[in-house]
Structure 1
Amino acid sequence: MSETFRNSVKMMVQETFEGPPVPVKGSWFTNSEPNSGIFGVIEGISCDQASMSVHGTTLAAHIDHIRYHMWGTNEILKKGKQPEMDWGKSWDIHSVDEQQWNLIQEGLRNEYLTLLESFDVIEWNELLSNEVLSSLAHSAYHLGAIRQMVKVVKA
């Protein structure tokens, strides 16, 4: 993979989680204000809000599902093959206390940082490129869902 393309993908992943770079001069696909990525959108969300059911799911479940997906991506990048995964179980979270909510957010941040670090050290090929791009699309999709859910839980 060319360095230019790798850096572009890395920038898009960063925008998904951190929002556009500061100072903000626009964004590629998130809102252009600071903290419009996943981490900023869920900042200040309480464990009670993260546990509120919105159309049968919770913010806690969405965030943990993204973490789980990123863990799978990171495993593929490390080992070159898909780990055994239980996608249904990744949605099992219905309520969290403050400690659980903090652990879910910390786990997501750790998987995100692991992903960013791997961009510079893996030997890129078609499988890994597809995995990283699908992880980007998956996370961006959930960013949109999370933004809508936050409107409900904050109402």
Structure 2
Amino acid sequence: MNEIVRNSVKTLIKETFEGPEAKGSWFTEAEPNSGIFGVLEGMSSDLASRSVYGTTLAAHTDHIRYYLWGTNETLKKGKQPEMDWGKSWTIHSVDEQQWNHIQAGLRNEYVTLLQLVDDAEWNERKANEMVASLAHSAYHLGAIRQMLKVVNG
């Protein structure tokens, strides 16, 4: 992958998860903690377990983790692993330990993804997977933020 494109992809992935850099935003709010990790920071397991239109913030968070895992496996092995998409939505309630485990898993997959952006031997399939993962994660960032508006009243 061209170095300019690689750096651009990494910048947008970081904005999705960590929030925008100090100099402004490409697509999130230009405020601290506007990325997935900032939005989830300090969220209790009770809040993460509240149902909004049949799903929970915990389920969305674990679904992002699962999708990133699939992306990481695709980048490592060159093909997508068998994935059970329905299973990625089965979380209805979590306790603090489960909630912390989901968030730690998401951070781990995120760190792995950033490393793979640098290390992968790129082809069109892997590039499509990476860009799709970025778009998918950004979509869920928006969904989580909208769900929070509902649960916070």
Q: Which runs of 4+ in 1 moved over 4 A?
A: none
Shift of 1:151: 1.5
Aligned equivalents of 1:120, 1:17: Cα separation in 2: 17
Deviations, residues 13-66 of structure 1 (Å, cap 9, x unaligned): 000000001xx2210000000110000011111000000000100000000000
- What is the SS of the residue equivalent to 1:120? helix
Aligned to 2:137: 139
Structure 1, unmatched stretches of 5+, are none
Shift of 1:127: 0.5
Aligned to 1:83: 81
Aligned to 1:57: 55
Aligned to 2:29: 31
Shift of 1:154: 2.4
Aligned to 2:107: 109
Aligned equivalents of 1:7, 1:26: Cα separation in 2: 16
Cα RMSD (Å): 0.6
TM-score normalised per structure 2: 0.98
Deviations, residues 87-110 of structure 1 (Å, cap 9, x unaligned): 000000000000000000000000
Structure 2, unmatched stretches of 5+, are none
Shift of 1:116: 0.1
Amino acid at match of 1:5: V
Aligned to 1:47: 45
Shift of 1:120: 1.0
For this pair of structures, how many residues does the alignment match? 153
- What is the SS of the residue equivalent to 2:92? coil
Aligned to 1:6: 6
Shift of 1:112: 0.3
Aligned to 1:17: 17
Identity of aligned residues (%): 75
Aligned equivalents of 1:127, 1:59: Cα separation in 2: 30
Shift of 1:138: 0.2
Aligned equivalents of 1:119, 1:45: Cα separation in 2: 29
Amino acid at match of 1:151: K
- What is the SS of the residue equivalent to 2:52? coil
